[in-house]
Amino acid sequence: MSGTGPLGAAGAVLRRDLTLFFRHRSDIINPLLFFIIVVTLVPLGVGPEESTLRVMAPGVVWVAALLAAMLSLEGIFRSDFDDGSLEQLVISPQPLALLVLAKVFAHWLVSGLPLVVLGPVLGASLFLPDRAMGTLVLSLLLGTPILSLIGAIGVALTVGVQRGGVLLSLLVLPLYIPVLIFGASAVSSAAAGLPVIGPLALLGALLALALTLAPLGAAAALRISLS
């Protein structure tokens, strides 16, 4: 990796991670199954009334997406830590923040993007109005990368901790709450026929902030964890 430029190194990390993810398909399938199960169980718990499910749909889909994203977070760095390749990334002459961003992007492609695709299907099962489907997709498209970026910092801080899943949840869950609020609010506003530009703009601002700061924070956290 030292003989290539920063973009070439990031591309190599992206290709490697995607290959590893698809070799271990259970790491992809399990969060998606969790997402589907959580949403489909809601009508069994609250009843099949269409009006009730329509009101709950935005929050249910977003909460399920958030929990499914958390379920897959450890896949960003854990396998690299276990096989020693994470140390090679840290001591690489290439910018560590850029390599971290490539790993987060790979994680989002296999865990966040499927949630974006499945969201409208599960929303329809909860009688979410058609006029809110586009907003649901856009909110998930803006929000799920934020979950991966913030989660990368938490994983980087806990990667050396045995059974750090509970600690990881405690670290990232408070930071996920604004994303959940703005995402669900945008979809609820669209379902009610109200303007959605405000919540979506806030999600976009959070995404820009996370893209700027999260790779740097995760890179610093990795250096601390591996020092």
pLDDT in tens, 36-50: 999 999 888 888 888
At residue 93, the pLDDT reads 86
Q: What's the chain's Rg over C-alpha atoms?
A: 18
At residue 1, the pLDDT reads 54
Contact, 217 vs 104, CB < 8 A?
no
| 28 vs 21: CA distance, rounded Å | 7
At residue 213, the pLDDT reads 95
Task: Tell me the pLDDT tens digit for each residue of 154-193.
Answer: 999 888 777 667 788 888 999 999 999 999 999 999 999 9
At residue 163, the pLDDT reads 67
At residue 45, the pLDDT reads 86
Q: Is the pLDDT assigned to residue 214 strictly greater than 80?
A: yes
Task: Tell me the pLDDT tens digit for each residue of 87-96.
Answer: 888 888 889 9
| 202 vs 182: CA distance, rounded Å | 7
Cα–Cα distance list, 49 to 55, 82, 123, 126, 130 (Å) = 10, 48, 15, 10, 18
Percent of the chain exceeding pLDDT 70 equals 97
Residues 6+ apart with CB under 8 A from 42: 53, 56, 60, 126
Q: Is the pLDDT assigned to residue 80 strictly greater than 60?
A: yes
Q: Is the pLDDT assigned to residue 15 strictly greater than 80?
A: yes
pLDDT band at 218; cut points 50, 70, 90: very high
Q: Is the pLDDT assigned to residue 13 strictly greater than 70?
A: yes
Other Cβ atoms less than 10 A from the Cβ of 106: the count is: 22
Task: Give the largest Cα separation in the chain, rounded.
Answer: 61
Give the residue with greater pLDDT, 226 vs 147.
147
| 183 vs 59: CA distance, rounded Å | 8
Could you tell me where the DSSP H helices lie in the chain? 6-23, 26-46, 50-71, 78-83, 85-91, 96-107, 113-125, 133-158, 165-191, 197-226
Own/partner pairs for 169-172, CB < 8 Å, 24+ apart? 169/70, 172/70, 172/73
pTM of the model: 0.92
| 125 vs 153: CA distance, rounded Å | 34
Other Cβ atoms less than 10 A from the Cβ of 174: the count is: 9
Mean pLDDT (the chain) is 89
At residue 183, the pLDDT reads 96
**Which amino acid appears at position 75 of this protein?**
G
% helix / strand / coil in the chain, to the nearest 5?
A: 85, 0, 15
